[in-house]
């Protein structure tokens, strides 16, 4: 199972992909509101409880049989939050790869933190499919800059 991390809100993800019923879409904004907190006024205790809820949902979602992956949406991500999330997910056995879901040529400073990068499709409403990485010599060749899908 893959974990897709995006800086975009869940509405953008829903507009881009068709087969989201086979994915778990974790929106941090929804989790905060679901727990009854105000996103503007979070103290340390509230942040701790929100982080625990996110971890629980990732663990629970990663064990589901009919789910292809988890999409984690948080517009307020930064380097430290990404590293902590990646560290946590490395202990979840069923999470195979952690991928960044973003627009082409955006968030490039975070590419190195992830196992791979998936770009939003140019066309609206397509299926998320399993992607495989190509060797670095192919990926770095400017003539082959188009992105390949399996």
Any idea where the domains of the chain sit in the sequence?
A: 2-125
Per-residue 3-state assignment (H helix, E strand, C coil) for the chain: CEEEEECCCHHHHHHHECCHHHEEEEEHHHHHHHCCCCCCCCCHHHHHHHHHHHHHHHHHHHCCCCCCEEEEECCCCCHHHHHHHHHHHCCCCCCCEEEEEECCCCCHHHHHHCCEEEECCCCCCECCCCCCCCCHHHHHCHHHCCCCCC
Q: Is the pTM of this model over 0.95?
A: no
User: Over the stretch 107-149, which tens digit does the pLDDT of each residue have?
Assistant: 888 888 888 888 887 766 555 665 555 554 444 444 444 444 4
- Measured from the Cβ of residue 133, the count of other Cβ atoms closer than 10 Å reads 14
Please give the mean pLDDT across all residues of the chain: 81
Where do we find the tokens 């629970």?
60
Structure-block tokens of residue 59: 């663990």
User: Over the stretch 31-43, which tens digit does the pLDDT of each residue have?
Assistant: 999 999 988 888 8
User: Over the stretch 2-20, which tens digit does the pLDDT of each residue have?
Assistant: 899 999 888 888 888 777 8
Angle between helices 79-89 and 44-62 (to 10 degrees): 40
Q: Among 30, 6, 15, which Cα is nearest to 101's?
A: 6
CATH class of 2-125: alpha beta
For residues 7 and 29, is the Cβ–Cβ distance under 8 A?
no
Work out whether strand 116-119 and strand 23-27 pair parallel, antiparallel, or are unpaired. Answer: unpaired
Centroid of chain to Cα 67: 14
């Amino acid at each position: 199972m893959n974990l897709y991390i995006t800086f975009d809100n869940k509405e953008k993800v829903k507009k881009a992909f068709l087969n989201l019923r086979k994915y778990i879409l974790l929106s941090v904004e929804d989790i905060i509101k679901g727990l009854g907190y105000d996103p503007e006024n979070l103290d340390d205790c509230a942040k701790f409880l929100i982080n625990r809820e996110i971890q629980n949902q990732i663990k629970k979602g990663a064990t589901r049989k009919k789910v292809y992956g988890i999409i984690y949406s948080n517009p307020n991500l930064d380097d430290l939050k990404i590293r902590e999330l990646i560290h946590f997910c490395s202990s979840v056995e069923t999470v195979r790869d952690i991928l960044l879901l973003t627009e082409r040529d955006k968030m490039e400073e975070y590419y190195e933190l992830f196992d791979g990068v998936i770009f939003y499709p140019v066309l609206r409403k397509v299926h998320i499919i399993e992607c495989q990485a190509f060797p670095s010599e192919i990926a770095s060749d400017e003539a082959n800059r188009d992105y390949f899908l399996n």
